């Protein structure tokens, strides 16, 4: 089969012929239809220091996908060929304390599809049945390919009750933008999102942010005054990984405000802890998606009319992957879809 392989320990990605994966008795074989490029794939493509210490070479990369089941292992009863599925990219051990208690997103021995094990940028993917999510009939395939990052947005946004609350999101990357859409859909009042990229802020507005703030031109204090928000934001979602954005967010929370942190800073970050202590903030780190409550919510949100399609800015055939990675690196793209149906 054809696959996009990190073949050498240097920047780039190679379209190669590799063996179609074998499936074990508990696995399904998925014929890939669409994939999406994640920031993680870009780190691997660019071969930065994180990728160099994390990715064994050669590796088929990619973890955002949708496809059709074409074969199931002898132990698999709940899935059958023909089903349209995505998959949870975190393969958990099933035996640690958290896994045994049903808290699989907290597994201490997670391995990542397209990071530690063969990935989805390929014609076929073998996946344990416990990682398969079947889509509702009629799902748009491009949207289905986004369930992994959409899940990051949903998992982060739904940590706290959003109904009637004022939300601050720092970082209008694809995940921040989808989170803005989720917050509006879930009944928030003000959904204010910050970034330094006007194109991304315009997209955030299109998807439901009530107010966008380019922090290179405008301060959050001014925006809060305009909105008549004297006490600060009830809920903060950190989705930039940028230390200045995180500090800004902490400074504009109300007393007792609740913060979910998804953005991954490149280096350790110092913050003003007095804001956390005197304002009695709650900070919570978020990783991945809950298995499978987040997936359930995603399917239901799409069914109930949440439209995140505008987050997709580019579509290419998989053979044209180079263009996909180029537009991602240029910063002009939000989500880029690669089509494997041919």
Task: Please list the active-site residues.
Answer: 40, 43
In this chain, which of 5, 44, 84, 99 binds Zn ion, going by CB under 5 A? 99
| DSSP strand pairing (132-134 vs 167-170) | unpaired
287 contacts which partner out of Zn ion, ligand NAD, none, CB within 5 to 8 A by kind?
ligand NAD
In this chain, which of 37, 51, 91, 107 binds Zn ion, going by CB under 5 A? 107
Contact 34, 144 (CB under 8 A): yes
44 contacts which partner out of ligand NAD, Zn ion, none, CB within 5 to 8 A by kind?
none
> Which residue's entry shows tokens 């609740």?
258
Residue 40 or 339 having the CB closest to ligand NAD:
40
Sheet containing strand 2-6, edge to edge, reads 14-17, 2-6, 59-60
Give the largest CA-CA distance in the chain: 62
85 contacts which partner out of Zn ion, ligand NAD, none, CB within 5 to 8 A by kind?
none
Q: Is 96 in the site for Zn ion (CB under 5 A)?
A: yes
Q: How far is the CB of 102 from ligand NAD (least distance, A)?
A: 20
Segment near Zn ion (CB under 5 A); pick from 106-114, 265-273, 275-283, 329-337: 106-114
Contact 190, 227 (CB under 8 A): yes
DSSP for 215-245, please give it.
TTT--HHHHHHHHT-SS-EEEEEE-S--HHH
Q: Is 106 in the site for Zn ion (CB under 5 A)?
A: no
92 contacts which partner out of Zn ion, ligand NAD, none, CB within 5 to 8 A by kind?
Zn ion
Q: How far is the CB of 132 from ligand NAD (least distance, A)?
A: 20
Q: How far is the CB of 326 from ligand NAD (least distance, A)?
A: 16
In this chain, which of 92, 172, 180, 203 binds Zn ion, going by CB under 5 A? 92
- The residue number whose beta carbon is nearest to ligand NAD equals 173
Segment near Zn ion (CB under 5 A); pick from 59-67, 105-113, 133-141, 207-215: 105-113
Each residue of 229-259: b (16+ CB within 10 Å) or e?
A: beebbbbbbbbbbbbebbbbbbebbbeebbb
| Contact positions vs ligand NAD (CB under 6 A) | 39, 152, 170-176, 194-197, 200, 215, 239-242, 244-245, 262-264, 286-288
Q: How far is the CB of 162 from ligand NAD (least distance, A)?
A: 19
In this chain, which of 1, 15, 57, 93 binds Zn ion, going by CB under 5 A? 93
Nearest to 121 by CA among 308, 316, 289, 318: 318
Residue 96 or 276 having the CB closest to Zn ion:
96
Burial of 270 (0-12, 13-18, 19+ CB in 10 A): exposed
**Helices 174-185, 198-207: crossing angle, 10 deg rounding:** 20
- Secondary element (H or E) of residue 250: helix 243-251
Give the whole-angstrom CA distance, residue 36 versus residue 315.
Answer: 9
Q: How far is the CB of 16 from ligand NAD (least distance, A)?
A: 26
Give the whole-angstrom CA distance, residue 253 versus residue 101.
Answer: 34
Segment near Zn ion (CB under 5 A); pick from 15-23, 28-36, 86-94, 183-191: 86-94
Q: How far is the CB of 125 from ligand NAD (least distance, A)?
A: 20
Q: What are the residue ranges of helices labelled H in 9-140? A: 39-46, 49-54, 97-100
Contact 13, 321 (CB under 8 A): yes
Residue 107 or 175 having the CB closest to Zn ion:
107
Q: How far is the CB of 92 from Zn ion (least distance, A)?
A: 5
For Zn ion (CB under 5 A), the number of binding residues is 5
Residues between 150 and 209 with contacts to Zn ion, criterion CB under 5 A = none
Instruction: Give me the residues that bind Zn ion (CB under 5 A), please.
Output: 92-93, 96, 99, 107
């Amino acid at each position: 089969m054809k696959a996009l392989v990190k073949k050498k320990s240097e920047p780039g990605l190679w379209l190669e012929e590799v063996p179609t994966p074998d499936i074990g008795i508990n696995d399904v074989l998925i014929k890939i239809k669409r994939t999406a490029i994640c920031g993680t794939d870009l780190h691997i493509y660019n071969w930065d220091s994180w990728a160099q210490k994390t990715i064994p070479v050669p590796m088929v990369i990619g973890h955002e996908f949708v496809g059709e089941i074409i074969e199931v292992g002898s132990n698999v009863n709940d899935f059958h060929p023909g089903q349209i599925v995505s998959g949870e990219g975190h393969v958990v051990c099933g035996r640690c304390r958290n896994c045994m208690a049903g808290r699989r997103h907290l597994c201490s021995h997670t391995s990542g599809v397209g990071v530690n094990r063969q990935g989805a940028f390929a014609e076929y993917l073998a996946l344990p049945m416990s990682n398969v999510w079947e889509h509702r009939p009629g799902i748009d395939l491009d949207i289905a390919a986004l369930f992994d990052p959409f899940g990051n947005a949903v998992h982060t946004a739904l940590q706290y009750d959003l109904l009637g609350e004022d939300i601050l999101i720092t970082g209008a990357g694809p995940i921040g933008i989808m989170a803005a859409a989720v917050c509006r859909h879930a009944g928030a009042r003000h959904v204010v999102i910050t970034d330094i990229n006007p194109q991304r802020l315009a997209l955030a507005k299109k998807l439901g942010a009530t107010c966008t703030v380019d922090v290179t031109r405008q301060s959050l204090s001014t925006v809060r005054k305009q909105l008549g928000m004297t006490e600060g934001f009830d809920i903060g979602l950190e989705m930039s990984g940028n230390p200045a954005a995180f500090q800004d967010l902490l400074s504009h929370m109300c007393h007792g405000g609740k913060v979910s942190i998804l953005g991954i800073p490149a280096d350790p970050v110092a913050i003003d802890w007095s804001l956390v202590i005197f304002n009695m903030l709650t900070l919570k780190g978020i990783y991945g998606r809950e298995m499978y409550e987040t997936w359930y919510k995603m399917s239901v949100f799409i069914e109930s009319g949440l439209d995140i399609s505008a987050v997709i800015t580019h579509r290419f055939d998989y053979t044209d992957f180079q263009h996909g990675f180029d537009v991602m690196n240029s910063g002009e793209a939000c989500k880029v879809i690669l089509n494997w149906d041919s």
